[in-house]
Amino acid sequence: MSGKAIIFDLDGTLLDTLKDLADSGNAVLESHGFPGHPIDAYRTFIGTGMVNLVRDIFPDDHRPNEGPETDAILAEYRAAYGRNWKNTTVLFPGVAELLNRLTEQQIPIGVLSNKAHDFTVKCVDAFLSDWKWDVVLGAREGIEKKPDPVGAIEAAERVGCAPEDCYFVGDSDVDMMTAVNAGMHAIGVSWGFRSVEELRGAGAEQILEVPSELLSLL
């Protein structure tokens, strides 16, 4: 298995962050006089970054305008998520065992998320610190978010692996498109926030039913 590396998405792939993200979004909505969404509705709001999330959760006719209005709502959301980010978040079942196996086999591992970089690092430090991560990247100013391949290619360079030898593991169409755009193996997970049909439609080579199935692909 030498020469291989695994780059993981974070939310919906390694960590079940759904309720904490939803509670934060609903707190913002309620502070502006709008009803919150059911938690499951946030499955479709998550994945393209916090800026899109804070605009998408509002009713169409009250969607914040780009610029200062969105910036202000984003600041509110970041404050709410800063209070909620570790209330209920947990690893998905089987993730710890998979990471143990990858570590034992000395396969480089990394994270590439569209979550803001500071919160990405916080979550990895809080919930995934039992494992040595070769690279952890969230959304950063001036760098295009997934599905643009620039972050994935940077992650591959940082783990010392050619893109074609990297397996990009994620739960959304954005993740699969990122893998395809970067020339990586696109591996979808069935336990995340989006449907298997969406993953297949976006180019997934394989769909994992449980985390340990990844090992048989390497």
How deeply is 149 buried, as exposed, middle or buried, from its count of CB atoms within 10 A (0-12, 13-18, 19+)? buried
3-class state of residue 126 by DSSP: helix
- Residue 16: strand pairing partners: 90
Distance CA(128)–CA(146), nearest Å, equals: 22
> Which of 9, 11, 173, 175 is the catalytic position?
9
Give yes or no: 148 in active site: no
CA angle at residue 137 from 209 to 81, to 5 degrees? 85
SS3 for 181?
Answer: helix
> Angle 18-31/68-84 helices, nearest 10 degrees?
130
Count of alpha carbons within 13 angstroms of residue 78, beta-carbon side: 17
Catalytic positions are 9
